[in-house]
């Protein structure tokens, strides 16, 4: 394990970004989101980002291809540039888990080559949590916030950032920057263990730490789907997309065309199941009421996805939707309301 003083982190970021793109939490106009590191950027590793880390692999808008027209002639142009390797720094355990959930969507046949290219080139440096928020409930999904995986795992404790490479990619990155680090000793490891212990204690006491998901099993699909509670749960929903756009696991997108000056650019952009035109087809919409749309989101995360993916829920308990819903309705409340009596 290596260590670096926190006040030297900018040197580390400068070094990494000198050879490759570095994506990390940056504060712009008061809000912290993952963004490319640039000289003078206000890096903030102490708060949860507004948007999740998924943008790096699955950006909100992404060009797919281009049709160039000239008179009556149409050329199809591949707009994919060779993806260069990049470093994604400061990913929390919940967001890291979300990549695994996205992989199960994008990397199974048919493989999403746009996603795959980025996923392969991304070096993920995770950061262990030490100060969870009241909205956090990752532990409900079996995630250990204090010990994230990734190519490199880092911990912040006692004025130092500790660095531990886990994979070949991680080792390669470590080699490139190790000059800046000192070797950590057993004393340091003890400090980290102490911090982990403290954090785990806080985590176990969080309000949503013990939401019970056991009621969400594939065999209860019909029962859950027909639950009368959906109506009151969805009543106040505005049908905006805040929850889906801050969510690390939402993976739905829409494909659209943009008419440029010399043709058409085909791109995809995040879609939200909360929107009235989500999965609109020639015959119209499959879900006409907000109740149906609302139910879809949670049924997908808690029932449909797990039944196709060995019981893995498509929620990581990051709590972003808990924080950002304009009317304070969220997945935790849904789980508590229809997830069976253990939640009472």
Partner 1 sequence: MQEINKEYQPLIVAFCCNWCSYAGADLAGSSRLSYPANVKIIRVPCSCRVNPMFILKAFQRGADGVIMCGCHPGDCHYTTGNYYARRRMTLLFDMLDYLGIEKERTRVEWVSAAEGVKFSNVMNEFAAKICELGENKRLEDLRCKE
Partner 2 sequence: MQRIENLMKAKAIELLENGTVNRVLGWTAGDFYYDNTPAIFNSKEEIEKSFVYNSFCGANLSKYLVKERKNEGKILVFLKPCDTYSFNQLVKEHRVNKDNIYIVGIECQGHLSIEAIKAKGIDGVVGLEENGEEVTVKSIYGDKTVVRGEVMLEKCLSCKSKKHVAYDELIIVNEMPEADSMKRFSKVAELEAMTADERFAFWKSELSKCIRCNACRNVCPACTCTKCVFDNPESGVDAKANADKFEEKLFHIIRSFHVTGRCTDCGECSRVCPQNIPLHLINRKYIKDINEFYGEYQAGADTESKAPLTAFTTSDIEPGSNLKEGK
Partner 3 sequence: MQRIGVFVCWCGSNIAATVDVKRVAETLGQEPGVVYSADYQYMCSENGQQLIKTAIKEHGLTGIVVCSCSPRMHEATFRKTAESAGLNPYMVEIANIREQVSWIHKDIEEATVKAIILGRTAIAKLLLNTPLTAGETGVTKRALVIGGGIAGIQTALDIAEAGYEVDIVEQRPTIGGRMAQLDKTFPTLDCAACILTPKMVDCAQNEKIDILSYSEVEEVKGFVGNFTVKIRKKARYIDEKKCTGCGICMSVCPSKKGLNEFNMNLNNRPAAYIPFAQAIPNVAVIDPEQCIKLKTGKCGLCSMKCEAKAIDYTQQDSFVERNYGAIVVATGFKIADLKYFNEYGYADNKDVITSLELERLMNAAGPTKGTLLRPSDNTHPHVITFIQCVGSRDISGCGKPYCSKICCMYTAKHAMLIREKYPDTEVHVFYIDVRTPGKNYDEFYRRAVEQYDVDYIKGMVGKVYNENGKLMVQGSDLLSNEQITIASDLVVLAAAIEPEPSVRKIATLLTTSIDTNNFLTEAHAKLRPVESPTAGIFLSGMCQGPKDIPETVSQASACAAKVIGLLAKDKLKCNPCVSISDDSMCIGCGTCANVCPYGAITYVDKEFRLGGGKTEVRRVASVNEAVCQGCGACTVACPSGAIDLKGFTTKQIMAEVEAVCKR
Where does this chain bind partner 3 (CB under 8 A)?
69, 71-72, 259, 261-262, 284-285, 288-289
Q: Which does 327 bind (CB under 5 to 8 A by kind): partner 2, partner 1, partner 3, none?
A: partner 2
Figure out which of the listed residues 38, 134, 194, 223 binds partner 2, where binding follows CB under 8 A.
134
Figure out which of the listed residues 329, 334, 335, 338 binds partner 2, where binding follows CB under 8 A.
329
Q: Closer to partner 3 at the Cβ: 71 or 110?
A: 71
Residues engaged in binding partner 1 (CB under 8 A) = 258, 260-262, 265
Q: Determine the angle formed by the axes of helices 113-121 and 93-106, rounding to 10 degrees.
A: 140
Instruction: From residue 257, give the alpha-carbon distance in Å to each of 63, 75, 264, 292.
Output: 10, 15, 6, 28
Q: Closer to partner 1 at the Cβ: 76 or 111?
A: 76
Q: Is the distance from CB of 122 to CB of 113 less than 8 angstroms?
A: no
- How does DSSP classify residue 31? E
Longest CA span, the chain: 72
Residue 246 binds partner 2, judged by CB under 8 A: yes
Cα of 159 vs its chain's centroid, Å: 27
Q: Which does 289 bind (CB under 5 to 8 A by kind): partner 1, partner 3, partner 2, none?
A: partner 3
Cα of 126 vs its chain's centroid, Å: 12
Q: Closer to partner 3 at the Cβ: 72 or 341?
A: 72
Residue 239 binds partner 2, judged by CB under 8 A: yes
64 φ, ψ (degrees, to nearest 5): -105, -50
CB of 8 to partner 3, least distance (A): 50
C-alpha Rg value of the chain to the nearest Å: 22
CB of 130 to partner 3, least distance (A): 49
Q: Are strands 253-260 and 263-270 parallel, antiparallel or unpaired?
A: antiparallel
Residue 31 binds partner 2, judged by CB under 8 A: yes
Residue 30 binds partner 2, judged by CB under 8 A: yes
CB of 116 to partner 2, least distance (A): 21
Half-sphere exposure of 108 (CA within 13 A, CB side): 8
Cα distance between residue 288 and residue 166, in whole Å: 47
Paired residues of 152 in beta bridges:
125, 165
- How does DSSP classify residue 110? S
CB of 260 to partner 1, least distance (A): 5
Residue ranges binding partner 2 (CB under 8 A): 28-31, 33, 50-51, 60-61, 131-134, 202, 205-208, 232, 235-236, 238-242, 244-246, 254, 256, 258, 267, 269-272, 275-277, 322, 324, 326-329, 332-333
């Amino acid at each position: 394990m290596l260590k670096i003083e926190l006040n030297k982190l900018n040197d580390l970021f400068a070094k990494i970004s000198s050879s490759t793109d570095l994506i990390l939490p940056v504060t712009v106009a008061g809000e912290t989101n993952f963004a490319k590191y640039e000289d003078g950027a206000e890096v903030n590793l102490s708060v949860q980002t507004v948007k999740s880390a998924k943008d790096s692999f699955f950006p909100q808008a992404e060009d797919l291809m281009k049709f160039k027209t000239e008179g009556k002639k149409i050329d199809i142009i591949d707009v994919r540039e060779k993806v260069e390797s990049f470093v994604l720094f400061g990913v929390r355990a919940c967001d890291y888990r979300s990549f695994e959930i996205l992989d199960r969507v994008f990397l199974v046949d048919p493989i999403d080559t746009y996603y795959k290219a980025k996923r392969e080139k991304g070096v993920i440096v995770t950061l262990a949590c030490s100060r969870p928020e009241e909205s956090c409930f990752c532990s409900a999904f079996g995630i250990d916030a204090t010990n994230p995986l990734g190519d490199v795992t880092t911990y912040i404790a006692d004025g130092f950032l500790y660095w531990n490479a886990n994979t070949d990619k991680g080792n390669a990155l470590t080699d490139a920057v190790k000059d800046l680090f000192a070797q950590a000793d057993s004393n340091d490891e003890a400090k980290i263990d102490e911090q982990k212990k403290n954090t785990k204690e806080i985590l176990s006491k969080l309000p949503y730490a013990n939401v019970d998901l056991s009621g969400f099993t594939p065999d209860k699909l019909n029962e859950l789907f027909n639950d009368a509670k959906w109506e009151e749960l969805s009543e106040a929903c505005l049908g905006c997309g805040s929850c889906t756009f801050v969510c690390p696991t939402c993976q739905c997108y829409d494909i659209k065309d943009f008419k440029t000056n010399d043709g058409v650019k085909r791109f995809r952009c995040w879609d939200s199941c909360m929107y009235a035109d989500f999965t609109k087809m020639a015959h119209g919409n499959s879900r006409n009421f907000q109740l149906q749309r609302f139910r879809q989101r949670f049924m997908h995360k808690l029932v449909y996805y797990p039944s196709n993916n060995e019981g893995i829920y498509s929620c990581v308990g990051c709590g972003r939707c808990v924080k950002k819903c304009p009317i304070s309705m969220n997945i935790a409340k849904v789980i508590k309301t229809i997830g069976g009596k253990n939640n009472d």
